[in-house]
Amino acid sequence: METTNIINQIGNTPLIKLKQVSELTSCNIYGKAEYFNPGESVKDRAALYIVKDAFERKKIEKGGIIVEGTAGNTGIGLAVVCKEFGLSLKIVIPKTQSKEKKDILKKLGADLIEVDAVPYSNPKNYIKQSKKIAEELSKKHNHGVVWGNQFDNTVNTKAHIETTANEIWSQTAGKIDGFTCSVGTGGTLAGVSIGLKNKNKDIKIALSDPMGSSLYSFIKDKKLESKGTSITEGIGTGRITKNFEKALIDDAFQTSDEEALNIVYDLIENQNIILGGSSGINIAGAIKLAKQLGKNKNIVTILCDDGRRYASKIFNKEFLKSKNLPIPKWL
């Protein structure tokens, strides 16, 4: 019987036509279904490249430790990859992230350190704490300790140039007019924008940003200013990362949680697809980009992860009520 290891299943995810929003815009809007990855999110791609790069640069060997600060999905991707490479994993995560993601990390064998959610400017920010922990561990560990540094490690962008962008180009047979997605590290948007524009410079690239993030104003006005808040996890930021610096962006859209969640709930009802809030932000951006480009255009976005990862929030009537967010009639 022919078998394959799990990390060989990272990538080559399906491209799904989103019927309702395609009809709404008179365009073809497609979602790259990244929840088909082994770790069930787009972050598996960056995780694999970060670990492979550490081995290639001889910074780590079997028995070594990867340390990362993550909102959850990169950690889950790293947990999957680290198991295959015989590595230990230490994750620093904000306490505000969903219980479901934290439970998955623990089940996959990650050593979880939960910290208060504070801005990046604070020395106790989860990213800065993860770097410090990696530096301390490296002084006493013989098999190598690597800080993943997903936000500023540009192998993240490389992963999406070499895989995601090429897959989208192939799956659309080169007939793509626009691409949009949100930003956490910036790796997906940077890599896909570079990869697609290398093939056709006229493809329009747009940022899809949640409220509370500063990137929309940065693209529009060159100012890092934010307004509002969002319950979405892993996207939206107040700083320009090394990955985001590389992104080739033509425009930006901003979307409220209410708009994003209504899209998520409609997809469950009409297409049996269960997605997280970040995918709702992405699809909202795709709708806006489609309306901007006009009829009969082909737009692609990222379906980041499975919505059941956020059930305690987006499928929790009491939580939604406390945030004055829409509650689907079937909940």
| Catalytic position from the list 278, 279, 297, 313 | 278
State the burial class of residue 59 (Cβ atoms within 10 Å of its Cβ: 0-12, 13-18, 19+).
Answer: middle
User: Three-state SS for 92?
Assistant: strand
Please state the length of the chain.
331
| Catalytic position from the list 22, 32, 41, 43 | 43
> What is the rounded distance in angstroms from the CA atom of residue 180 to the CA atom of residue 192?
9
pLDDT at 4: 65
Topology of 43-147 in CATH? Rossmann fold (3.40.50)
303 contacts 238 by C-beta, under 8 angstroms: no
Q: Judge if 6-40+160-322 and 43-147 fold alike in CATH terms.
A: yes
Cβ density class 286-296: b for 16+ within 10 Å, e for less:
bbbbbebbeee
- What are 32's strand-pairing partners? 15, 302
**Is 182 part of the annotated catalytic residue set?**
no
Question: What is the second-level CATH architecture of the domain 6-40+160-322?
Answer: 3-Layer(aba) Sandwich (3.40)
Cα angle for residues 308, 255, 156 (degrees, 5° grid): 65
- What is 17-49 written as a DSSP string? E-HHHHHHHTSEEEEEEGGGSTTSBTHHHHHHH
The structure's pTM equals 0.96
Q: What are the residue ranges spanned by the domains of the chain?
A: 6-40+160-322, 43-147
**Is 226 part of the annotated catalytic residue set?**
no
pLDDT tens per residue across span 314-325: 999 999 999 999
pLDDT tens per residue across span 133-156: 999 999 989 999 999 999 999 999
DSSP secondary structure letter of residue 68: E
State the burial class of residue 138 (Cβ atoms within 10 Å of its Cβ: 0-12, 13-18, 19+).
Answer: middle
CA 297 to centroid of chain Cα atoms = 25
pLDDT at 3: 47
- The stretches in the chain having pLDDT less than 50 are 1, 3
**Structure tokens belonging to residue 203:** 């493809």
